[in-house]
């Protein structure tokens, strides 16, 4: 068992920060039962962190002690492993774009996968399933704008779009307008008004 645990830790040590480990990907090291036992033991010893059901992550060790990996890296790694689309919550997007001064208290991400919670030490990260339109234009300010508008809602959308018109480059505003066919009716109407004014 000690040899298996050592091999699991060697494998984990070669992975980028935040990359999750699951028993299924370690079956080349031993039987499923043995791998499950070794992972549980490593988590009890603090060598690995249990992030969720069957999901383990190597903590980051530095001269200041041990810490959990950066949440965004863990979420990105899980999304890549499982073929999911993931984006920061609309509240975080609105804050980043200067549409609100509220800073989200919890880390929430929107996902095309199932809703679930991850535990990274004392921090809880929520992955919330959303419709596909909320995950369009990933990695672009235009996509962040759409998620921010979804969070702000119909009452604050026109004011937010006026602000975005001043802040976003024309190419990003055009991307928002181009995405309107897949948006909810209230948002498509606001975006159409933006296109007509622009």
- Distance separating alpha carbons of residues 139 and 131, to the nearest angstrom: 17
- Distance separating alpha carbons of residues 67 and 59, to the nearest angstrom: 6
pLDDT at 25: 86
pLDDT above 80: residue 42:
yes
Residue 188 and residue 134 in one domain? yes
Residue 114 and residue 168 in one domain? yes
Residues facing residue 65 across a β-bridge: 62
Residue 56 and residue 76 in one domain? no
Q: What's the rounded mean pLDDT across residues 154-183?
A: 91
pLDDT above 70: residue 197:
no
Q: What's the rounded mean pLDDT across residues 99-111?
A: 85
Residue 18 and residue 115 in one domain? no
Residue 156 and residue 88 in one domain? yes
Kindly report the CATH number assigned to the domain that includes residue 34: 1.10.10.10
- Distance separating alpha carbons of residues 108 and 135, to the nearest angstrom: 14
Q: What's the rounded mean pLDDT across residues 84-111?
A: 89
Residue 59 and residue 84 in one domain? no
Give percent above pLDDT 70 in the chain.
97
3-state secondary structure the chain: CHHHHHHHHHHHHCCCCCCCECHHHHCCCCCHHHHHHHHHHHHHHCCCEEEECCEEECCEEECCEEECCCHHHHHHHHHHHHCCCEEECHHHHHHHCCCCCCCCCCEEEEECCCCEEEEECCEEEEEEECCHHHHCCCCCHHHHHHHHHHHHCHHHHHHHHHHHHHHCCHHHHHHHHHCHHHCCHHHHHHHHHHHHHC
Q: What's the rounded mean pLDDT across residues 170-188?
A: 92
Residue 57 and residue 81 in one domain? no
Q: Domain count of the chain? A: 2
Residue 14 and residue 95 in one domain? no
pLDDT at 143: 95
Enclosing domain of residue 144: 71-197
pLDDT at 138: 92
pLDDT band at 198; cut points 50, 70, 90: low
Domain end position, chosen among 30, 45, 67:
67
pLDDT at 104: 72
pLDDT at 149: 94
pLDDT at 115: 94
pLDDT above 90: residue 78:
no
Residue 14 and residue 81 in one domain? no
Q: What's the rounded mean pLDDT across residues 41-62?
A: 87
Domain end position, chosen among 41, 67, 93:
67
Give percent above pLDDT 90 in the chain.
43
**Beta carbons of 172 and 141 less than 8 angstroms apart:** yes
| Tokens encoding 143 | 């996509």
**Beta carbons of 96 and 144 less than 8 angstroms apart:** yes
68 — phi, psi (to 5°)?
Answer: -75, 150
pLDDT at 171: 93
Residue 158 and residue 191 in one domain? yes
pLDDT at 1: 60
Digit-coded pLDDT (tens) for 123-150 = 899 999 999 999 999 999 999 999 999 9
- Distance separating alpha carbons of residues 194 and 131, to the nearest angstrom: 23
Domain end position, chosen among 12, 47, 67:
67
pLDDT at 123: 86
- Distance separating alpha carbons of residues 161 and 65, to the nearest angstrom: 45
Q: Please provide the size of the chain in residues.
A: 198
Q: What pTM was estimated for this model as a whole?
A: 0.81
Residue 90 and residue 150 in one domain? yes
Residue 52 and residue 91 in one domain? no
């Amino acid at each position: 068992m000690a040899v298996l645990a050592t091999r699991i830790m060697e494998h984990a040590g070669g992975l980028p920060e935040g990359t999750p480990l699951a028993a299924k990907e370690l079956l080349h090291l031993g039987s499923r039962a043995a791998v499950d036992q070794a992972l549980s033991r490593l988590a009890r010893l603090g060598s690995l962190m249990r992030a969720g059901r069957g999901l383990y992550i190597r903590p980051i060790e530095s001269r200041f002690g041990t810490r959990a990996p950066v949440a965004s890296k863990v979420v990105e790694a899980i999304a890549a492993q499982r073929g999911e689309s993931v984006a920061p919550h609309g509240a975080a997007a609105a804050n980043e774009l200067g549409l609100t001064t509220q800073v989200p208290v919890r880390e929430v991400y929107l996902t095309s996968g199932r809703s679930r919670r991850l535990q990274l030490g004392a921090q809880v990260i929520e992955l919330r399933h959303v419709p596909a339109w909320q995950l369009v234009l990933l990695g672009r300010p235009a996509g962040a704008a759409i998620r921010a508008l979804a969070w702000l809602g119909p009452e604050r959308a026109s004011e937010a779009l006026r602000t975005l018109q001043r802040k976003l480059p024309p190419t990003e505003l055009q991307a928002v307008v181009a995405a309107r066919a897949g948006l909810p009716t209230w948002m498509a109407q606001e975006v159409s008004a933006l296109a007509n004014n622009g």
